[in-house]
């Protein structure tokens, strides 16, 4: 399966690279609408080896932007145009200008959107102390769980930055699915890591079309060579040690 990662959607004039117009998002949907699966279906099948290289697509949105509620949920989920999505929340930003409130996040959760943690303050977790790392992971998890009344086991690394120390701490905190920003199908080099293509407004629909046809096609020489030699996992473990 293929995991796509978005941030904010706007009507017009994106303010940064990670912000897309809903027209651009519509173009993306036209390419993958028939392949979209709900987060629940993704989570049921993501460990099944048979599902690993199918073209099924799941959508994720990071950072808890208001547009998760006003556009993605209202315009696409409620109208049946997409079968839900995952929303990763940096807990300290809840209720800030341009971000969702707890009430909105609760409504998304009841409406079939899978809510995950994106930490507290959206910091690069590879650069913080062990104490701070533990706080980012466990306090965000318990705050989300208290508000939603259900377990939160999905985590997306802020900026896609992670290391072995970070993923060990996330697993210890009780997360089971850790989402990165890497090319390729959803299975990462460890069973609990899930690769996502992060869509920016520098990427046109043609780029996405090629990615959907062959998510591994745009990976580099090191991936191709080490995969051929059966050494990719070892290489990555060394890189992220």
Which two structure tokens, joined as six digits, stand for 206? 């043609």
Q: Binders of Zn ion: how many residues, by CB under 5 A?
A: 3
Binding mask 99-138 vs Zn ion (x if CB under 5 A, - otherwise)? ----------------------------------------
Tell me the window of 56-64, 71-79, 146-154, 216-224 that interacts with Zn ion (CB under 5 A): 56-64
DSSP H stretches of helix in the chain: 22-32, 39-45, 66-67, 102-110, 130-148, 164-173, 205-213, 221-228, 232-239
Does position 68 interact with Zn ion (CB under 5 A)? The reply is no
- Find the binder of Zn ion among 6, 39, 63, 186 (CB under 5 A): 63
Nearer CB in complex with Zn ion: 62/68: 62
List, in sequence order, every residue forming a beta bridge with 18; answer none if it has no partner. Answer: none
Interface pick for Zn ion out of 62, 144, 179, 189 (rule CB under 5 A): 62
29 neighbors 48 (Cβ within 8 angstroms):
no
3 state DSSP class of 181: coil
Please choose, out of 21-29, 58-66, 145-153, 223-231, the segment that lies near Zn ion by the rule CB under 5 A.
Answer: 58-66
Alpha carbon of residue 17 to chain centroid? 17
Closest by Cα among 23, 25, 32 to 6? 25
Q: From the CB of 114, what's the least distance to Zn ion, in Å? A: 16
Q: Which of residues 3-42 bind Zn ion (CB under 5 A)?
A: none
Q: Which stretch binds Zn ion (CB under 5 A): 63-71, 138-146, 162-170, 193-201?
A: 63-71
How near is the Cβ of 161 to Zn ion at its closest, in Å?
A: 10
Could you say which residues in the range 137-196 bind Zn ion, by CB under 5 A? 158
Residues 6+ apart with CB under 8 A from 14: 8, 20, 21, 201
Ramachandran area for residue 160 (φ above 0: left; ψ -120 to 50: alpha; else beta): left
* Cβ-closest position to Zn ion: 62
Intra-chain end-to-end CA distance of the chain, in Å: 27
User: Which parts of this chain interact with Zn ion (CB under 5 A)?
Assistant: 62-63, 158
């Amino acid at each position: 399966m293929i995991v796509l990662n978005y941030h904010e959607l706007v009507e017009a004039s994106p303010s940064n690279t990670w912000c897309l117009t809903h027209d651009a998002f519509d173009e993306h949907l036209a390419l993958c609408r028939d392949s979209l699966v709900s987060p629940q279906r993704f989570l049921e099948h993501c460990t099944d080896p048979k599902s690993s290289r199918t073209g099924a697509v799941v959508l994720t949105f990071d950072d808890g932007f208001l547009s998760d509620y006003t556009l993605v949920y209202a315009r696409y989920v409620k109208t049946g145009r997409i079968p839900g999505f995952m929303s990763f929340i940096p807990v300290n930003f809840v209720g800030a200008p341009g971000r969702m409130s707890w009430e909105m996040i609760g409504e998304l959760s009841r409406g079939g959107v899978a809510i995950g943690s994106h930490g507290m303050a959206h910091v690069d977790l590879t650069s913080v102390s062990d104490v701070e790392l533990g706080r980012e992971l466990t306090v965000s998890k318990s705050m989300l769980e208290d508000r939603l009344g259900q377990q939160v086991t999905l985590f997306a690394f802020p900026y896609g930055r992670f290391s072995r120390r970070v993923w060990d701490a996330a697993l210890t905190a009780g997360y089971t699915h850790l989402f990165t920003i890497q090319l390729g199908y959803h299975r990462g080099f460890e069973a609990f890591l899930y690769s996502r293509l992060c869509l920016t407004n520098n990427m046109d629909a043609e780029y996405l079309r090629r990615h959907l046809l062959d998510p591994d096609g745009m990976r580099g020489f090191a991936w191709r060579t080490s995969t051929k030699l059966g050494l990719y996992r070892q290489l990555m473990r060394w890189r992220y040690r």
